[in-house]
Amino acid sequence: MQGRKIVTLLISLLAASALWLYVVTSVAPEATARISDIPVTVDGSIVLEERGLIITEQQTDSIWLELSSSRINLAKLNSSSIRIAADASKIRAEGTYELSYSVIYPDTVNSNDVDILRQSSSRVTVTVAKLETKTVPITVSWQGSVPEGYTAETGSATLDPEEVVLTGPAEEIAQIKEARLEVDLSTLNETVIQTMPFSFCDAEGNIVTLSEHTEASVTEATLTLQILRSRQIALRVDLVDGKGVSSDNATVTFSTETITVKGNAEVVDAMEDTLTVGTPIELSKIQERQTFTFNLNLPAGVTNETGETKVEVTVVISGISRAIIPVTDIRVVNQMEGYDTSVTSKSVNVTVRGATSEVTKLRDSTDSGIYILVDLEGNTQTGSFTVVGRVVNETHPDVGVVDEVQVSVSVTPTAESTEPTED
């Protein structure tokens, strides 16, 4: 009997608990809860962009709500499950607006079963600005200089891309003049192909940090910069002595004494310290002064830093005297068979030049030792005519003949060849 009473008592307690729970959760639903830091979202940004507008500031970022509902519903509500949404799609001009908002509950909670008792704000304040798109150039700011012996071809450097497109609030976009990429040359000794970030600058060169409302089409650019080896090379020319003139009598000047070459490091380093220009200059052909123009023939891929491809070489002859020597010793060789050759030029003036002392010695000598050789080999002409004679100077080797000489000769048949023959 006692056991049956205990069982009955337990059943009564369970029934009372169940009844209390039902009353608390269903019959008496009016519990309250305060939910803080509910984020606010503003819809309609795409519509605004189509109208050339953009939201630049949202003064109301979050809202707290004091809600009344059943305990079951309140258990499902928190700052993550509730969404507060304001609609900006009706805005058509820049300015500051206060927007009404909607409270959106999760699908498991009927909004009709929830009452808002209090709220931190009944409006969402936003600022709308004009939206613009602007294209600015990407430039390079060169810092320092390359190490000695190298040249940076900054004039031919390339960027990819060369421009950046900015989209954002008009007031912010108006500040930007260029995108600037800074490059330190002091550490570079080889060609660079590198992707690098850049900064945005205003008209005074100050860096401008873009807000989250401005978008850039790119934030990096690829720089291609050629770094070349450079060296200073002296110029020289070969001289050929002749006709009494030696290199000691020649003063050579160049339009530029040295050039700075640039190119592939391996090729430039292999070059000699001096560069011979042009073909050898024959001093015997220069009267007093003559200027030559020669090409600067450099190895493939190597150029003159100034861009010049030619050089002028001037040769001036000094310390040389001239004299005219009459020569009467004229010798004919290789005469035509059956013909007599006579020299009608009794004396031929020969112009000589050389060191003053040598020319004076030759001019004052009673026998110059110079003769003229007339070679008629291959000649078929008869009668009187002139031929070129070769001046032979065997006794004064340091004196040279300046000009060619002309000798008049007469070629006639021999006497025997002109006598009549018997039939």
For residue 21, pLDDT over 60 is answered with no
326 or 5, which is more confident? 326
Which pLDDT band holds residue 26 (cuts at 50, 70, 90)?
A: low
3-state SS of 218-271 is CCEEEEEECEEEEEEEEEECCEECECCECHHHEEEEECCCEEEEEECHHHHHHC
Question: Do 28-122 and 131-225 share a fold?
Answer: yes
Fold topology of 321-418: RNA Polymerase Alpha Subunit; Chain A, domain 2 (2.170.120)
Distance of alpha carbon 340 from alpha carbon 332, whole angstroms: 11
For residue 380, pLDDT over 90 is answered with no
Note the pTM of the prediction, 2 decimals: 0.59
Which pLDDT band holds residue 27 (cuts at 50, 70, 90)?
A: very low
Q: Tell me the CA distances in angstroms from 172 to 205, 209, 271, one per residue in order.
A: 15, 10, 56
Residue-wise pLDDT for 243-270, tens only, equals 888 898 899 999 999 999 999 888 999 9
pLDDT value at residue 17: 60
User: What's the CATH code, domain 28-122?
Assistant: 2.170.120.30
Q: Which CATH class is domain 231-318?
A: mainly beta
Residue 275's identity, in one-letter code, is L
pLDDT value at residue 282: 93
Domain 131-225: homologous superfamily in CATH: YbbR-like domain (2.170.120.40)
Domains in the chain: boundaries:
28-122, 131-225, 231-318, 321-418
Distance of alpha carbon 404 from alpha carbon 352, whole angstroms: 11
For residue 328, pLDDT over 70 is answered with yes
Supply angle C-alpha 84, 85, 88, rounded to 5.
150
